[in-house]
Amino acid sequence: MGEEILLTQEGYDKIVEEHEYLVSVRRAEVSELLKEAKSYGDLAENAEYDAAKNEQAELEDRILKLEAMMRNGKVVSGHELTGDKVNLGLGVTVKDVRTEELMHFMIVGITEADPFEGKISNQSPIGKALLGHKVGDVVEIHTESGVLNYKIMEITKD
């Protein structure tokens, strides 16, 4: 069995949706590309066939990865999200103790992380350090660029 992957319900649903699309739609499209490329003749010097085979391999690899995520995924349920402690699936507003800058993060599973949307992984240095802390706690976070001190201002169910 693979390593357990923590997910929000939204993240799990996106994985299932992508898997269904790849299996039901994209596989047929790639199969058609292969069929068309084969019709061009000599496969030894057929760039379209090589490209279609590569695309098929990448598609099947992605499908296998999604299936592993679905198999090993654990959706953090609502009763675990009380909001009294930072947890996966919750939003957290922090204040940098040094600069007094306020920041808001959503703690998500590693497969859902998107820093540009404020979604940080529970396995990132910041996410890992914040987990389990309460409003008012000052958390020391060790990153590649140095030590950060964040005070937890608010925990929300975003």
Q: Is 9 left (phi over 0), alpha (psi -120 to 50) or beta?
A: alpha
Which residue segments constitute the domains of the chain, with CATH numbers given?
A: 5-75 (1.10.287.180), 78-156 (3.10.50.30)
pLDDT in tens, 114-137: 989 999 999 899 999 999 999 999
For residues 157 and 90, is the Cβ–Cβ distance under 8 A? yes
Q: For 61, how many CA atoms within 13 A lie in the half-sphere containing its CB?
A: 6
The yes-or-no verdict on residue 112 having pLDDT over 90 is: no
The yes-or-no verdict on residue 48 having pLDDT over 90 is: no
DSSP codes, 68-118 = HHHHHEEEPPGGG--SSS--TT-EEEEEETTT--EEEEEEE-TTT-BGGGT
What pLDDT, on a 0 to 100 scale, did the predictor assign at position 80? 60
Strand, helix or coil for residue 123:
coil
Strand, helix or coil for residue 149:
strand
Please give the share of the chain, as a percent, with pLDDT higher than 90. Answer: 52
What pLDDT, on a 0 to 100 scale, did the predictor assign at position 1? 47
| Rounded CA separation 133/139 (Å) | 8
Burial of residue 4 (number of CB atoms within 10 Å: 0-12, 13-18, 19+): exposed
| Rounded CA separation 120/136 (Å) | 20
